[in-house]
Amino acid sequence: MDRRNFLKKAGAFCARLGLVLAVGYPAFAFVLHSSRRTVHVIFLHQERLGRVSFKNGVFLLQREQRLKAVSARCTHLGCTVQHDPVSDRFVCPCHGSVFDAEGHRIRGPAEKDLEILPVTISKEGDITASYTL
């Protein structure tokens, strides 16, 4: 093999290797590091004010002796919804999805209700809501 052919083949090999690394490494790294973890949000007794409390991406709804935790993450594109106390609804500021006081979808580009999170109550009366990332 002469020098010119060697350099052509070496250059083509390096280009292919670079392409494989540029495409393959991010996918491989995502699979390796995509471990799921559970987040626990604790609402202390003193922090629960009124019917709707918010902390770390979770709304705690207290209605007629019932507790319910709802994720503040919009099911459309993941924006954080805001509670409108006047209409008692949750509104997404990004694209206008609207959810009722229980987290059920009313309208908007979101097609699903807000995620309902499991709730546990401690002996001291603290409430823990959990979700998985």
Asked if residue 73 and residue 13 are part of one domain, the reply reads no
Q: Which residues of 37-66 are buried (b: 16+ CB within 10 A; e: fewer)?
A: eeeebebeeeebeeebbbeebbbbbbeeee
* Residue 91 shares a structural domain with residue 118: yes
Regarding whether 64 and 27 lie in a shared domain, the answer is: no
State pLDDT tens for residues 76-131: 888 899 998 888 889 999 888 999 988 899 988 988 999 999 998 888 888 889 88
pLDDT of res. 17: 82
Q: What is the CATH number of the domain that holds 104?
A: 2.102.10.10
Bridge-based pairing of strands 89-91 and 52-55 is unpaired
Cα distances (angstroms) measured from residue 64 to each of 50, 67, 73, 103, 132: 12, 8, 25, 16, 28
- Do residues 4 and 43 both lie within one domain? no
- Per the structure, how many domains does the chain have? 2
Do 55 and 84 have their domain in common?
yes
Round to whole Å and give the CA distance between 57 and 40: 11
Do 21 and 62 lie in a common domain? no
Each residue's pLDDT tens digit, 10-23: 888 888 888 887 88
Give the model's pLDDT for residue 34: 61
Of the two residues 48 and 114, the one the predictor is more confident about is 114
Give the contacts of 43 (CB within 8 A, at least 6 positions apart): 53, 55, 60, 126, 127, 128, 129
The span from the CA of 66 to the CA of 22, in Å, is 52
The verdict on 26 and 53 lying in the same domain is no
Polymer length of the chain: 133
In this prediction, residue 110 carries a pLDDT of 87
* In a shared domain, residues 121 and 60: yes
Domain hosting 28: range is 1-35
**Residues 104 and 121 both lie in one domain:** yes
- The pLDDT, as a whole number, for residue 118 is 92
Confidence (pLDDT) at 91: 92
Angle made by CA atoms 82, 84, 85, in degrees to the nearest 5: 135
Q: Is the pLDDT of residue 6 over 80?
A: yes
37 pLDDT tier (thresholds 50, 70, 90): confident
Residue 3's pLDDT band (boundaries 50, 70, 90)? confident
89 shares a domain with 43 = yes
Residues 24, 50 share a domain:
no
Tell me: do 99 and 65 sit in the same domain. Answer: yes
